[in-house]
Structure 1
Amino acid sequence: MGCRIMVVEDEIFVATEIEYIVEELGHQPVGIAADTASAFSLAPFADIALVDLNLKDGATGREIGRRLAEMHGVTVLYMTANPSQLGDGVPGTLGVLPKPVAEDELKDAVRFTVAHRMTKDGVAPRRLRTF
């Protein structure tokens, strides 16, 4: 299989849909994390994390993403309805995809994130803002 991808999202229906798309693209979902503790318990198993900002334990996604990238070498793509909360970006993370996200946009974003992890190359999809 391709990359191991973690979904950091507290809305279970959104998270399971993202996992389904990840699997459909040939990658391995490693789990859904709805808060900080579960994100870091899954971190050793993930190459990539798709991270929402507002989770069960509050607005912790920004810091989760930063720490996943810095401490675990995970490629982090934020997915949020509030991209302005990220300001100019988070050091070490890839970028942000604004929600809501159409299925095709999500597929393109996952493909780009995987390609970037492998080669540091690729053209970002139209709505994805890189840092």
Structure 2
Amino acid sequence: MGSRVLVVEDEMTIALLIEDMLVEMGHVVVDLAMRLPQAEELARKAEFDVAVLDVNLDGRRSFPVADILRERGIPFVFATGYGASGVDPTYAHSPIVTKPFVIDELKTAIEGLVGVDPGR
């Protein structure tokens, strides 16, 4: 069985694309947050194994969400159109997928975090 994934993405079309990719990989999307307050709330309380975080949520950075996830010990991958230059140096060692990305890039990033390929 795959991982339970929280998706934090403010563009609905991209969020649905990410969800489709995750489902195709065998994961379960437990929730979707499109704004920072909702993402922070889910990061604190929801039950999931890994998160995909858009860096820019309607003009606000998702780094507070990443901090909550770190405190809870939940791994995450950043998804950003800016690549590594769009991520605060505090998170330099966090995995990043650069938009637009393909399913194999997301799969590699998530497998690196949770060490599971649900297709095997």
Give the residue type in structure 1 aligned to 2:41: S
The 3-state SS of whatever aligns with 2:18 is: helix
Give the residue type in structure 2 aligned to 1:20: D
Q: Which runs of 5+ in 1 are unaligned?
A: 117-131
- What is residue 99 of structure 1 aligned with on the other side? 99
**Using the alignment, how far apart are the partners of 1:89 and 1:97 within structure 2?**
17
- What is residue 13 of structure 1 aligned with on the other side? 13
Shift in CA distance, 87/39, structure 1 to aligned 2, threshold 3 Å: closer
Q: What value does the CA root-mean-square deviation take over the aligned residues?
A: 2.1
- What is residue 49 of structure 1 aligned with on the other side? 51
1:105-126 Cα shifts (integer Å, max 9, x gaps): 222222223218xxxxxxxxxx
Give the residue type in structure 2 aligned to 1:39: A
1:54-93 Cα shifts (integer Å, max 9, x gaps): 113x2221222122222x22211111012313243428x7
The 3-state SS of whatever aligns with 2:67 is: helix
- What is residue 111 of structure 1 aligned with on the other side? 111
Shift in CA distance, 21/99, structure 1 to aligned 2, threshold 3 Å: same
Flag as ranges the 4+ runs of structure 1 deviating above 6 A. Answer: none
Q: Structure 1 residue 24 and structure 2 residue 24: aligned?
A: yes
Identity of aligned residues (%): 34
**Using the alignment, how far apart are the partners of 2:66 and 2:77 within structure 1?**
8
After TM superposition, the score normalised by the length of structure 1 is: 0.74
**Using the alignment, how far apart are the partners of 1:77 and 1:14 within structure 2?**
15
- What is residue 36 of structure 1 aligned with on the other side? 36
Question: For the Cα contact (< 8 Å) 1:52–1:79, is it kept in 2?
Answer: yes
